[in-house]
Amino acid sequence: MKQNSNVPAFLTKLWTLVEDSDTNEFICWSQEGSSFLVLDEQRFAKEILPKFFKHNNMASFVRQLNMYGFRKVMHIDTGIVKQERDGPVEFQHPFFKHGQDDLLEHIKRKVSSTRPEENKIRQEDLSKILSSVQNVHDKQENMDSRLATLKRENEALWREIADLRQKHANQQQVIKKLIQFIVTLVQNNSILGLKRKRPLLLNSNGKKSKFIHPIFDDPVDHSKGLVNGLNGLKSNSDISDDVIICDLTDEDAEVTDDTSKNFDQRDVEIVEVQIDDDTAALVEANAERESSDGLEAACEDITETATEVPETSSALQVNKPSVLSHEDPVKMMDSILSENGAISQNISLLGKVELMDYLDSIDCSLEDFQAMLQCKQFSIDADIAELFSPNNTVNSHDIGGHTSKETDKSKENTELSLREGKSEGDNADKQLIQYTTCPLLAFLDGCSSLPPEPEVPVCDLGENLLERAAEDPGDLLEPSLETQELPRSTLIRLEPLTEAEASEASLFYLCELNPDGPGPEAPQLEV
Query: Using the rule CB under 8 A, is 85 a contact of a second copy?
Result: no
| SS percent in the chain: helix, strand, coil, step 5 | 55, 5, 40
Instruction: Count Cα atoms within 13 angstroms, Cβ side, for 307.
Output: 20
> Of the ranges 47-55, 171-179, 251-259, 473-481, which one interacts with DNA (CB under 7 A)?
47-55
477 binds, among a second copy, DNA, none (CB under 5 to 8 A by kind): a second copy
For residues 256 and 448, give the distance between their C-alpha atoms in angstroms, rounded to a whole number.
Answer: 13
181 three-state secondary structure: helix
The whole-angstrom separation of Cα 313 and Cα 310 is 9
Binding DNA (rule: CB under 7 A), the pick from 43, 46, 51, 63 is 63
166 binds, among a second copy, DNA, none (CB under 5 to 8 A by kind): a second copy
Site for a second copy in 457-476 (CB under 8 A): none
For residue 59, the partner it binds in a second copy, DNA, none, with Cβ less than 5 to 8 A by kind, is DNA
Q: Is residue 114 involved in binding DNA (CB under 7 A)? A: yes
Residue 284 near residue 452, CB atoms below 8 Å: yes
Segment lying near DNA (by CB under 7 A), choices 63-71, 122-130, 150-158, 448-456? 63-71
Q: Using an 8 Å Cβ cutoff, are 241 and 338 in contact?
A: yes
Residues 356-395 that bind DNA (CB under 7 A): none
- Which one of the spans 50-58, 135-143, 191-199, 350-358 is the region binding DNA (CB under 7 A)? 50-58
Binding flag, residue 182, a second copy (CB under 8 A): yes
**Residues in binding contact with a second copy, number by CB under 8 A:** 191
CB of residue 499 to a second copy, shortest distance in Å = 4
Residue length of the chain: 527
Choose the contact partner of 10 out of DNA, a second copy, none; CB within 5 to 8 A by kind: DNA
Nearer to DNA, 61 or 358 (CB): 61
Output the smallest distance, CB 33 to a second copy, in A.
32
**HSE of 335, CA atoms in CB hemisphere, 13 A:** 25
- Only segment of 30-38, 113-121, 186-194, 278-286 that touches DNA (CB under 7 A): 113-121
Query: Do 429 and 477 contact (CB within 8 A), yes or no?
Result: no
Interatomic CA distance for residues 270 and 236, integer angstroms: 9
Q: Which of 10, 95, 369, 509 binds DNA (CB under 7 A)?
A: 10
Alpha helices in 390-429 (DSSP H): 392-397, 404-423
Helix (H, G, I), strand (E, B) or coil at 3: coil
Asked if 509 touches DNA (CB under 7 A), the answer is: no
Three-state secondary structure along 74-98?
CCCCCCCCCCCCCCCEEEEECCECC
Q: Residue from 29, 30, 55, 395 that binds DNA (CB under 7 A)?
A: 55
Span 8-67, contacts to a second copy by CB under 8 A: 54-55
Is residue 113 within 8 Å of 69, Cβ to Cβ?
no
Pick from 519, 471, 453, 509: nearest CA to 267: 519
Which residues form the interface with DNA (CB under 7 A)? 8-10, 53-55, 57, 59-60, 63-64, 66-68, 70-72, 109-114, 117
